[in-house]
Structure 1
Amino acid sequence: MKIIAMIPARYAASRFPAKLMQQLGDKSVIRHTYDGSVATGLFDEVVVVTDSDIIFDEVTSHGGKAIMSKKTHESGSDRIAEAIQDMDVDVVVNVQGDEPFVKREPLEKLVRLFDDPTVKVGSLMRRMSGINDVNSPSQVKVVVNKKMDALYFSRSPLPFRANTVIEAPYFLHIGVYAFRKQTLLDFTNWPAGVLEKEEKLEQLRYLENGVSIRMAEVTFQNVAIDTPEDLEVAKKLLG
């Protein structure tokens, strides 16, 4: 299989404009993400796909590969789909541009899901412990079947605790995805479904169209740069 990592990178983030160009140690956030993805050694190619000349120049001037989007896109999935349309590739991993601490282990688990030829989409999850996180609508929960295929994703506590004896674990969905090329292209042509609109979770579009999402459990604690406060936390972690 030819496996590539695509990093969708939008400049004008609503909560923290230009966050990908913020300095983190001796590099910008987007360069940390790009270099970390390359360093995993998992991918035949790593590409940033962006709407910004500034981000494009930041990546390419330091020896990286970037592609300019031709259209305006609402989501990273749409941005990636446009970029891979004419690429010779089997599996595409969507690496979030605002997560600079890329690690090999969780991404390797994600990639290995596609050793099963029936898997069309893969993603990651980890066990949750804090009840505040479970009740938070910003923390997306997922439940799976015995094959580790997602049954549902929700912003509500999932599953509901009707039986306090069993205590099924809560799993947090980590929004890192991998797709077979044609499955992602199909996804961008489907209209948003009722559940996707209700929960504001685009991954539900796959489930509503009968496409399973195979999950892998990891312990990785991802750090996303969504606010200036997140950047300060990242600087401390970097040391």
Structure 2
Amino acid sequence: MKVIAMIPARYAASRFPAKLLQDLAGKPVILRTYEAAVGTGLFDNVYVVTDSKLIFDTIEAAGGKAIMSIEEHECGSDRIAEAVTQMDVDIIVNVQGDEPFTDRESLAGVLEVFHQDPEAEIDLASLMTRITDPQEIENPNTVKVIVDHRNFALYFSRSPIPYPRATDSQAKYYKHKGIYAFRKRALMDFQRLPMLDLEATEKIEAIRYLEYGKKIKMVETQVSGIEIDTPEDLERAIKVWK
């Protein structure tokens, strides 16, 4: 299988504008993320795909590979789909640009899913990590996922799922980490399929795949990392890096 990593990188961000160009221990966040993906050694190629000339120039100046988006896109999957349309690849891994602590073990686990799928039943694979902090479970910025007995995703939500109606419930809660591995055909389908009500309501692109019957295999990881969504997240990342 030919496997590449794509890092979608928007300049604008509602909670933290230009966050990908913020300094993280001497280098921009997006460059740290790019170098982490390359450093795993798992990919035939790694690209940053962006709508920003500043981000494009940052990656190119460091000797990396960057692609400028031609069209405007509402989500990372659409941005990546445009970039890979003419590429001869089998699996595309979407690495979030705001996750500079991307680790090899987690990515290898996601890719292993496809090696263990001779019938090509799985359209996507993604990561989840166990969460127990009540504030994080309630936080709408934390996307939760519930799975079936085979770890196929049933639903993603910003609300706590499952809802603890039973006070003695032993339910486990999982945070969805925004790293996806797609078969190319599933990504191309995503680009042409219109957004439906559930995705539009929750603002979670993974829901579109479920609404159209795609199968998403979730892989549990113990590595939570740090997603840089706010200035406070960046401060935490700087401390961890040091």
TM range (shorter): over 0.9
1:87 is aligned to 87
1:200 is aligned to 203
Deviation at 1:147, TM superposition (A): 1.3
- Supply the distance in 2 between the matched residues of 1:17 and 1:134 (Cα, whole angstroms): 25
Deviation at 1:166, TM superposition (A): 4.6
Report percent identity of matched pairs. 55
Structure 2 counterparts to residues 14-93 of structure 1, below 5 A: 14-93=14-93
- Supply the distance in 1 between the matched residues of 2:34 and 2:56 (Cα, whole angstroms): 12
Q: TM-score, normalised by structure 1?
A: 0.95
Deviation at 1:126, TM superposition (A): 1.0
Report the CA distance shift for 1:58/1:212 in structure 2 as closer, same or farther (over 3 A). same
1:6 is aligned to 6
- Supply the distance in 2 between the matched residues of 1:229 and 1:195 (Cα, whole angstroms): 30
Is structure 2 residue 222 aligned with structure 1 residue 219? yes
Residue identity opposite 1:204 in structure 2? I
1:150 is aligned to 153
SS in 2 for 1:16: coil
Residue identity opposite 1:90 in structure 2? D
Residue identity opposite 2:43 in structure 1? F
Number of residues of Structure 1 aligned to a counterpart in Structure 2 = 239
Is structure 2 residue 136 aligned with structure 1 residue 120? no
For the aligned residue pairs, the C-alpha RMSD in angstroms reads 1.3
1:176 is aligned to 179
Structure 1 unmatched runs, 5+: none
Q: TM-score, normalised by structure 2?
A: 0.94
- Supply the distance in 1 between the matched residues of 2:104 and 2:194 (Cα, whole angstroms): 34
After superposition, what is the alpha-carbon deviation per residue over 1:55-93, rounded to whole angstroms, capped at 9, x for unaligned? 111111111111111111111111100000000000000
Deviation at 1:201, TM superposition (A): 1.6
- Supply the distance in 1 between the matched residues of 2:90 and 2:154 (Cα, whole angstroms): 25
Deviation at 1:170, TM superposition (A): 1.2
Structure 2 unmatched runs, 5+: none
Contact 1:114–1:120 (Cα < 8 Å) also in 2: no
SS in 2 for 1:143: strand
Deviation at 1:231, TM superposition (A): 1.5
- Supply the distance in 1 between the matched residues of 2:137 and 2:235 (Cα, whole angstroms): 25
